[in-house]
Chain A
């Protein structure tokens, strides 16, 4: 049997999830030049928010019917935490040197992890998450699990909605203006504080959707799940060109497919047996990142911008 469609599908699913999380990094960076390292944890609390909705729903409630409610629950929790982080951790530091909010973000990330570890019932180890019953669906020669269909549908829809929002609505254009020049935007009557909170909130909402996808796919959520996913999503955002929302999704998909193909095929190349497989996939993914940044330092879709400072 040909393994290629399967590996491509695996990579695409994983990459779409990276992309959804990467939106949060890229939007916040595009507007306030802050790398919100706690974003991985915002993804994680979204997963627990969705899980909580599932746990409080009455027994016998179908998963298909519950998923929209779980998404709403996840988004509520993620957005609340994301907006609170902006308000209380980052806003007071907005005029501080850029390293200060960065360190704050790392601290916040540890705080959020330990808070879930300590107070969420039964979260000291990975917590089971509901999954769709039934076998996989065959799409173009690849087995796609039912839970994975969710991210394949949700990711393009989210991107479409976000694209329309940014280009067509008043707030979206205000967002673009703030990204280009916050001072002038302010002078033009744009409430930049509101725009910044909005960027955090949209990123958090996307992270929550990714977290539901993660739970449905893997059948578990855990307090540490945000760390590696966050790191990968950040990589995806840089790969795609940080600050560019389409770049984030493209970067995610490229990263996911690269990991999948590296696991599947590098080891088959004669002489490369030692460098293939799951252990080396991250090495190859980051080698790709370095290669891309060598030739396009601004990332795949990033624009070369004049230094603002």
Chain B
């Protein structure tokens, strides 16, 4: 039965290959003194290969832009910033190895990243033990900062070294529910998520807030984010009489999902979080008209700082777009740069010997106007900027509809 066993082995290999991804390249030169200037390395951890690489490359480039801007302005006297990007392939185990690599390089005083909450969970503790500051531009899982107790009001700070410029699922879900129920006046919603940490967390937060407001969830389903055919799910929505579809997940699956929803003759909007607020979404989906998304901060058109960022990014000649987390990454990197500045200023213009501790101590005092609005961190390490904006697709582009802060509690 040799043939049969080959098939069995093949099936096992196929399952194994699910966990395989390609290798990323690594830079291995640590920073050092550069003439009379001290080099401070800011680590960047993001998926630079694989299907989330578009977002990851945007993060890498935006961090690079922040460091270059600081160097050009001589923002911190006597300090030259340098970026060291590592590829985590969106995998927790790789992220943890990267964390160890950053920790062992004494020139690294702060780390920006990662993109995925699941990766972050593996990086938080090593960074905490090493006292190395981490600022994530994209992790939205509420428990990352506040622990599992946040649902019952017992928020406890998890790691003193973890900060983020991204808002939490709690805030985003509440804002989306409030907008859909009170502004768009849609009371019956079908709920779908992609079973990932981000998507499921956002969907759960939306559900809790939407039912609290008086809305009705007429059905729920889960999809596989690698699928592109959702017709079977879409056919089920029809009989529920839903007025909108809320999707917890990211744009690669949300695009075809929305398109197949409209194709099936159901003219109801799909709403999602910042994971679908990407220029790619209306590009991939010709029937996105009327779809909704929430994202952090005021719309970029209203902020001069955002315009400057976009202009500088274009002038920087980066091959890839800055994508959804470009602005938040710039702010995350800049927060570390500000902390370095505070540390240097508090030590007579020299970088303290224990740079990591000084930077970490300074993080709580960091306060500046960033690309996405005023940036500072609360007692959990979360951003104090709770302003959210709802966007709607009009003529194949996201147009801001409404900005505000959600009512919590």
Binding site for B on A (CB under 8 A): 1, 3, 6-7, 10-11, 13-14, 33, 35, 37, 98-99, 102-103, 106, 109-110, 113-114, 117, 124-126, 128, 131, 135-136, 143, 145, 214, 217-220, 222-225, 227-228, 231, 234, 238, 242, 259-261, 263-264, 267, 277-279, 281-282, 297, 305, 307-309
Q: For the complex, what is the distance from the CA of A180 to the CA of B9, rounded to whole Å?
A: 23
Stretch of B47-55, B96-104, B294-302, B343-351 contacting A (4+ beta carbons < 8 Å): B47-55
- Of the candidates B2, B233, B283, the one whose C-beta lies within 8 Å of that of A263 is B233
Q: For the complex, what is the distance from the CA of A136 to the CA of B239, rounded to whole Å?
A: 19
A279 close to B224 (CB less than 8 A): yes
Q: For the complex, what is the distance from the CA of A292 to the CA of B285, rounded to whole Å?
A: 38
- Of the candidates B6, B54, B192, B256, the one whose C-beta lies within 8 Å of that of A219 is B256
A218 close to B228 (CB less than 8 A): yes
- Of the candidates B57, B224, B256, B265, the one whose C-beta lies within 8 Å of that of A143 is B265
Closest to A146 in B: B263
A114 close to B22 (CB less than 8 A): yes
- Of the candidates B54, B223, B231, the one whose C-beta lies within 8 Å of that of A260 is B231
- In the A-B complex, list the 3 residue pairs whose CB atoms are closest, starting with the nearest: A279-B222, A263-B232, A10-B231
A127 to chain B, nearest CB (A): 8
Residues from chain B with Cβ under 8 Å of A222 in the complex:
51, 252
Q: Contact flags (1/0) for B248-292 with A, using CB distance below 8 Å?
A: 000010011001000111000000000000001001111000000
Asked if B3 CB lies within 8 Å of chain A CBs, one says yes
B68 to chain A, nearest CB (A): 22
Q: What are 29 residue pairs bridging A and B, where the CB atoms are less than 8 Å apart in the complex?
A: A3-B238, A6-B235, A6-B264, A10-B231, A10-B235, A33-B3, A37-B17, A102-B6, A114-B22, A114-B49, A124-B320, A125-B51, A125-B54, A125-B252, A128-B283, A131-B286, A218-B229, A218-B256, A219-B255, A220-B284, A222-B252, A234-B10, A260-B231, A261-B232, A263-B233, A267-B221, A278-B233, A279-B222, A308-B3
Q: For the complex, what is the distance from the CA of A117 to the CA of B259, rounded to whole Å?
A: 25
A234-B263 contact, Cβ under 8 Å, with A10-B235, A220-B284, A278-B230: no
Asked if B236 CB lies within 8 Å of chain A CBs, one says yes
Q: For the complex, what is the distance from the CA of A224 to the CA of B18, rounded to whole Å?
A: 12
Residues from chain B with Cβ under 8 Å of A125 in the complex:
51, 53-54, 252, 280
Residues from chain A with Cβ under 8 Å of B50 in the complex:
224
Residues from chain B with Cβ under 8 Å of A102 in the complex:
6, 9-10, 13
Residues from chain B with Cβ under 8 Å of A103 in the complex:
13
Residues from chain B with Cβ under 8 Å of A279 in the complex:
195, 221-224
B49 close to A35 (CB less than 8 A): no
Q: For the complex, what is the distance from the CA of A6 to the CA of B239, rounded to whole Å?
A: 12
Residues from chain A with Cβ under 8 Å of B233 in the complex:
263, 277-278
Q: For the complex, what is the distance from the CA of A143 to the CA of B261, rounded to whole Å?
A: 12
Residues from chain A with Cβ under 8 Å of B51 in the complex:
125, 222-224
Q: For the complex, what is the distance from the CA of A305 to the CA of B6, rounded to whole Å?
A: 15
Q: Contact flags (1/0) for B188-225 with A, using CB distance below 8 Å?
A: 00001001000000000000000000000000111110
Q: For the complex, what is the distance from the CA of A231 to the CA of B10, rounded to whole Å?
A: 11
B232 close to A260 (CB less than 8 A): yes
A110 close to B22 (CB less than 8 A): yes
Q: Which of A14, A125, A126, A224 has the most CB of B within 10 A?
A: A125
Q: A125-B280, A228-B224 are in contact. List 15 more A-B contacts (CB 8 A).
A: A1-B238, A3-B239, A98-B6, A102-B13, A117-B49, A124-B54, A124-B57, A125-B53, A131-B286, A143-B263, A231-B14, A264-B235, A264-B236, A279-B224, A307-B1
Residues from chain B with Cβ under 8 Å of A6 in the complex:
231, 235, 264
Closest to B1 in A: A307
Closest to A228 in B: B226
Q: For the complex, what is the distance from the CA of A291 to the CA of B286, rounded to whole Å?
A: 41
Q: For the complex, what is the distance from the CA of A106 to the CA of B19, rounded to whole Å?
A: 12
B221 close to A277 (CB less than 8 A): yes
Closest to A237 in B: B7
Closest to A99 in B: B9
User: Which residues in chain B, 1-34, are within 8 Å of chain A measured between CB atoms?
Assistant: 1-4, 6-7, 9-10, 13-14, 17, 20-22
B6 close to A281 (CB less than 8 A): no
- Of the candidates B229, B232, B255, the one whose C-beta lies within 8 Å of that of A126 is B255
A35 close to B6 (CB less than 8 A): yes
- Of the candidates B7, B57, B239, B252, the one whose C-beta lies within 8 Å of that of A242 is B7
Q: For the complex, what is the distance from the CA of A131 to the CA of B233, rounded to whole Å?
A: 21
Q: For the complex, what is the distance from the CA of A75 to the CA of B4, rounded to whole Å?
A: 32
Residues from chain B with Cβ under 8 Å of A1 in the complex:
238-239
Residues from chain A with Cβ under 8 Å of B264 in the complex:
6, 136, 143
Closest to A229 in B: B228
Closest to A113 in B: B22
Asked if B227 CB lies within 8 Å of chain A CBs, one says yes
- Of the candidates A10, A135, A224, A305, the one whose C-beta lies within 8 Å of that of B232 is A10
- Of the candidates A33, A124, A214, the one whose C-beta lies within 8 Å of that of B53 is A124
Residues from chain A with Cβ under 8 Å of B259 in the complex:
218-219
- Of the candidates A14, A261, A278, the one whose C-beta lies within 8 Å of that of B221 is A278
Closest to B4 in A: A297
B409 to chain A, nearest CB (A): 31
B3 to chain A, nearest CB (A): 7
A278-B232 contact, Cβ under 8 Å, with A106-B13, A113-B22, A228-B227: yes
B115 to chain A, nearest CB (A): 14
